[in-house]
Homo-oligomer: A and B are copies of this chain.
Amino acid sequence: MGDDCAVTDSRANLITCDSLVYGRHFDDSATPRLAGAKLLKRNLSDVAAMGGLPCEAVVAMFLPKNVSIAWLEGFTKSLAKCAVDHSTAIVGGDIAESPTLAATLTLTGRARRPLTRGTGNVGDVIYVGGPLGMSIKGHHLTFEPRIEQGMFLASAPEVTSCMDLTDGLAKDLPSLAGEKLCAALDPDEIPPSSETIEECGDDYEKIIRHVLCDGEDYELVFSVKPEAAESFERAWEDRFGGPVFRIGKFVARESGGPRLVDAKTGESLDDYHGYEHLG
């Protein structure tokens, strides 16, 4: 800090940035502590989705004249703690005055084999790393970025594509699949979060809507070569002590055809829109 740039010493080959805007990504119902950690964790989740180890971050803050010192202290302290917890160095930043409270964090990362979207093949099995839905109950603030899962996936050559779930499974999966593949899902196999079960009881239709459409799950969704699926599942369980969730597979997409179908009925699931946002 104090020079015109921060001097970094890493072999980083990944970079990502993400922002938070007051009134849009957080408001007075979120403590500054949760907001500060969320800013970093959104970016950590992007590095996790690429199978990377996070390295260094710079933070740009936009502060209204009347921002409270207590808020700012809570935000920055929590950001710093979250960085330490994830072995990430905050090496520089910028402060600008603005009518709207906001912040941008840029994070670098390192991945020997970066995981990407649109690189799966017909027949690949689609997995999700954890339960989905009703993130709005608190998970969108308290989630843990899946860095260890991402690094495990990057080290497994049978993993063909990966991303993190931010806009909801129904909206994100077409992006994982790319133009030429269609995701054939078995909705029964998508694991609902405990908050989703609590919200929906045994209303099956409602559960499906939440696991497909709710945003900000921050779980990883990825594809694995079919011939390696069983050994992959055993390796995952050995590594993480819990299951990975097989939710469908990639099939060839007809030109102009649906991007998401029910694997049993073949019906299009494209009408399940994910969380629509600009942020």
Which A residues fall within an 8 A CB radius of B?
2-9, 11-21, 23-25, 45-47, 49-50, 52, 56, 58-60, 62-63, 91-100, 102, 104, 106, 108-109, 114, 116-118, 163-164, 175, 277-279
Contact = CB atoms under 8 A, between A and B. Distances in A.
A52 B4 CA distance: 11
Nearest to A175: B2
B97 A15 contact: no
Nearest to A52: B5
Contacts of A109: 5
Contacts of A92: 15-17
A4 to B, nearest CB: 4
A139 to B, nearest CB: 19
A60 B19 contact: yes
10 nearest A-B pairs in the assembled complex, by CB-CB distance = A106-B106, A4-B49, A100-B100, A5-B16, A4-B46, A5-B14, A96-B279, A104-B104, A60-B104, A97-B278
A96 B278 contact: yes
Contacts of A50: 3-5, 7
A25 B98 CA distance: 10
Given A7-B13, A7-B14, 13 more contacts: A2-B117, A2-B175, A3-B49, A5-B16, A5-B109, A7-B114, A19-B104, A20-B96, A58-B106, A62-B102, A98-B102, A99-B100, A108-B108
B13 A117 contact: no
A91 B13 CA distance: 12
Nearest to A98: B21
Q: Find the residue from A5, A16, A96 having the highest chain B CB count within 10 A.
A: A5
Contacts of A91: 15
A13 to B, nearest CB: 5
Contact of A5 (B47, B62, B102): B47
A9 B12 CA distance: 8
